[in-house]
Chains A and B, each alone.
Chain A
């Protein structure tokens, strides 16, 4: 029997596309099954309704949802379907996935992130382990992402800079607002090392893509120029150009079918008309973002996998990760600034692009030694409807309207600019953060939805507060007013990983060190699910890099040349 293709990939985002790209380039035939539509640059505009209020890049929650189990302040676990709570855990269901809608703040992990257990020891209640690979194993692929996917930035020496095999980024940094200089000056005074934030945005044209047009609105919006290094713009378009990569849209994979040897033989999906279809392949790859990847494996029992693919030791869905930390803000009122400075601060196009990693590892007399994290500075998102809507409540939480409301909104928009910071630290893996199949709620195809338990470890809050204090010091030194921060255990749904740990022991991991599913030799997981611990940066660069690594492993398994 001949297979329909060499490689069949479920999902088309940052975890899927490097595999599609690399294997199509190497001469293999690839079929990508994507649940959503195929939007391209002309579809994307600065439209707050499309992205954020009618959310057309993600499913209607009545059709497809999640069930969220969270710990309430009273200590009880409470369960609610997202169609009722409105708490949306989808991040971008279309060709290119949520990478279309990322902000593209790109940081590498650091060597200690690969051996958190060895370096920092166990923490009670947390399932901390070392990775089965080291930073050195992933470094070439981080570099590959800089060059192939496209990252702009500038390397600055600092105490926690990770080793690099190249001197600098292939693309120069994007233009910056005057406020970046103020951050630098404040950090100098405080003896902190302010760093230019690398961005997955082209600062000059490359790879047949335009450079950034400085129209802001990156996060949540699709990029109209192609400058944002989404999986679609950077990789899938080029994969399709080879003539060997086919993308089936509106193809919702329902289950993977495996044989009596445990190998996967077909992906079964619902097409746009709701008809069941099948694709056969030599190798199958799952990469539909952490929650859905675990859900698909759990939904795919077979003769050798009675509890779901790779789930004979009940590890699938466990140790789900988000990004711990939170955010904060300071206000810069134009009236407190000179006319020229105010005018420069008002400039909307140029970026802030500053981060701090001085406390990526902390070792101080007062707080002790622990793994810290990253602080990133950015302007408040310019979404106008959301910002106006936030002004309608007074300090007591009562609704205001009429002329007082209009005056509040006008002041909020015209009298100041708001500098925010975000804190990224490890979301420690625990037994209270995981994915299961819900026993009651189903999607529009009648299959069980993912039930996500979103417990967090209290240690995360301690680290988050430590970092927020440092960030607030920077805002204070800059002369910002109304400084506040909010560190919480609420999971940011767009910063998600884990659920299918890679490791060396099949009893405690789902994937081997090549991200191959234990017990299913021709099945790989190439999205963020593999991460046993998350590190203290946003995930996307690491997901891209690891997927290029997995592509090399697949190529080797298929007998092709490995060119890395």
Chain B
């Protein structure tokens, strides 16, 4: 990465759609096509992964119950690969929101989602989102993704799931490097410790 290029995620502008619930229901018009990174062909051979036995209990109250349910739908646990719950994605996101450099608009937008999603769940199924079956949840997420705001909300949650899967364990996700093992990723060395995580460095 010598030549730093414009990152595709800079096209996400939270202000423009975090404003109103109506945006959620508007069908997305057009979205900029993102630079594709030629996906490798061939059949994936998922290697067995030893999952962490213990996992942080999900947060007990809303909006975290809903966020955790959406995260698991977006990134489900499988027998040979970790899911959102396995990497403590909800607790990770909750903690990140309390640390420096978390954009305030993103925070507002992320926390707005469960309110909107549960309204939709009540309308369609007379139940809150976490109480729905996996099929019903998927149906709702597909519906939500048809609006720009909805798709961007899901996309943002995915970004923080990836952080929980692939950031250094010092941040509370990726327990026992389960995400790195799954993807045979060599994280390099040294890894961050409690003295040099970003929330410490930012105060230097």
> What are 18 of the A-B contact pairs (CB < 8 Å)?
A46-B189, A46-B192, A47-B167, A47-B168, A47-B191, A48-B166, A50-B201, A53-B163, A91-B4, A103-B2, A382-B188, A384-B180, A385-B162, A398-B151, A410-B44, A410-B183, A413-B184, A414-B44
Contact with A along B80-108 (1 / 0, CB 8 A): 01000000000000000001111000000
In the assembled complex, the Cα of A217 lies from the Cα of B185 at a distance in Å of 13
The residues in A between 70 and 89 inclusive whose CB is less than 8 angstroms from any CB of B are 84-87
Contact B183 A414 (CB under 8 A): yes
Contact check: which of B81, B159, B187, B202 meets A389 at CB < 8 Å?
B159
Contact B13 A325 (CB under 8 A): no
Instruction: Kindly report which residue of chain A lies nearest to residue B170, judged by CB atoms.
Output: A47
Instruction: Check A323/B3 contact, CB under 8 A, given A45-B196, A399-B145.
Output: yes
A493 is an interface residue with CB less than 8 A from chain B:
yes
Contact A45 B185 (CB under 8 A): no
In the assembled complex, the Cα of A401 lies from the Cα of B168 at a distance in Å of 23
Q: How large is the interface on B (under 10, 10 to 19, 20 to 34, 35 or more residues)?
A: 35 or more
A464 to chain B, nearest CB (A): 11
In the assembled complex, the Cα of A409 lies from the Cα of B102 at a distance in Å of 25
In the assembled complex, the Cα of A473 lies from the Cα of B37 at a distance in Å of 19
Contact B184 A215 (CB under 8 A): no
- Residues in A neighbouring B166, C-beta threshold 8 A: 48, 384-385, 388
Instruction: Check A49/B3 contact, CB under 8 A, given A397-B31, A403-B78.
Output: no
Given contacts A37-B204, A46-B188, A325-B3, could you give 18 more A-B pairs where the C-beta distance is less than 8 Å?
A45-B196, A46-B192, A54-B198, A84-B15, A219-B2, A381-B1, A384-B179, A391-B39, A399-B154, A401-B73, A401-B154, A402-B76, A408-B39, A410-B81, A412-B39, A414-B45, A415-B44, A492-B3
Nearest 4 A/B pairs, CB to CB:
A482-B38, A219-B1, A46-B188, A413-B183
In the assembled complex, the Cα of A399 lies from the Cα of B150 at a distance in Å of 10
B111 is an interface residue with CB less than 8 A from chain A:
no
Contact A493 B4 (CB under 8 A): yes
Contact A49 B74 (CB under 8 A): no
- Residues in A neighbouring B46, C-beta threshold 8 A: 407, 410
Instruction: Kindly report which residue of chain B lies nearest to residue A80, judged by CB atoms.
Output: B13
A422 is an interface residue with CB less than 8 A from chain B:
yes
Q: Which of A60, A413, A490 has the most CB of B within 10 A?
A: A413
Instruction: Check A494/B145 contact, CB under 8 A, given A86-B9, A385-B162.
Output: no
Contact B38 A492 (CB under 8 A): no
| Contact residues of A: prevailing secondary structure | mixed
A279 is an interface residue with CB less than 8 A from chain B:
no
The stretch of A109-117, A129-137, A328-336 in contact with B is A328-336
Contact B42 A54 (CB under 8 A): no
The residues in B between 154 and 204 inclusive whose CB is less than 8 angstroms from any CB of A are 154-155, 158-159, 162-163, 165-168, 171, 179-180, 182-193, 195-198, 201-202, 204
Contact with B along A56-74 (1 / 0, CB 8 A): 1000100000000000000
A445 is an interface residue with CB less than 8 A from chain B:
no
- Residues in B neighbouring A481, C-beta threshold 8 A: 38, 41
A23 is an interface residue with CB less than 8 A from chain B:
no
Instruction: Kindly report which residue of chain B lies nearest to residue A378, judged by CB atoms.
Output: B2
In the assembled complex, the Cα of A49 lies from the Cα of B192 at a distance in Å of 10
In the assembled complex, the Cα of A219 lies from the Cα of B197 at a distance in Å of 19
B36 is an interface residue with CB less than 8 A from chain A:
yes
- Residues in A neighbouring B188, C-beta threshold 8 A: 46, 215-217, 348, 382
- Residues in B neighbouring A405, C-beta threshold 8 A: 74-75, 158
Instruction: Check A412/B40 contact, CB under 8 A, given A217-B188, A385-B163, A492-B5.
Output: yes
Contact B12 A47 (CB under 8 A): no
Q: Which of A43, A403, A406 has the most CB of B within 10 A?
A: A406
B133 is an interface residue with CB less than 8 A from chain A:
no
B61 is an interface residue with CB less than 8 A from chain A:
no
B110 to chain A, nearest CB (A): 15
Contact A331 B167 (CB under 8 A): no
The residues in B between 51 and 83 inclusive whose CB is less than 8 angstroms from any CB of A are 73-76, 78, 81
The residues in A between 460 and 511 inclusive whose CB is less than 8 angstroms from any CB of B are 481-482, 484, 486, 490, 492-495
- Residues in A neighbouring B155, C-beta threshold 8 A: 392, 399
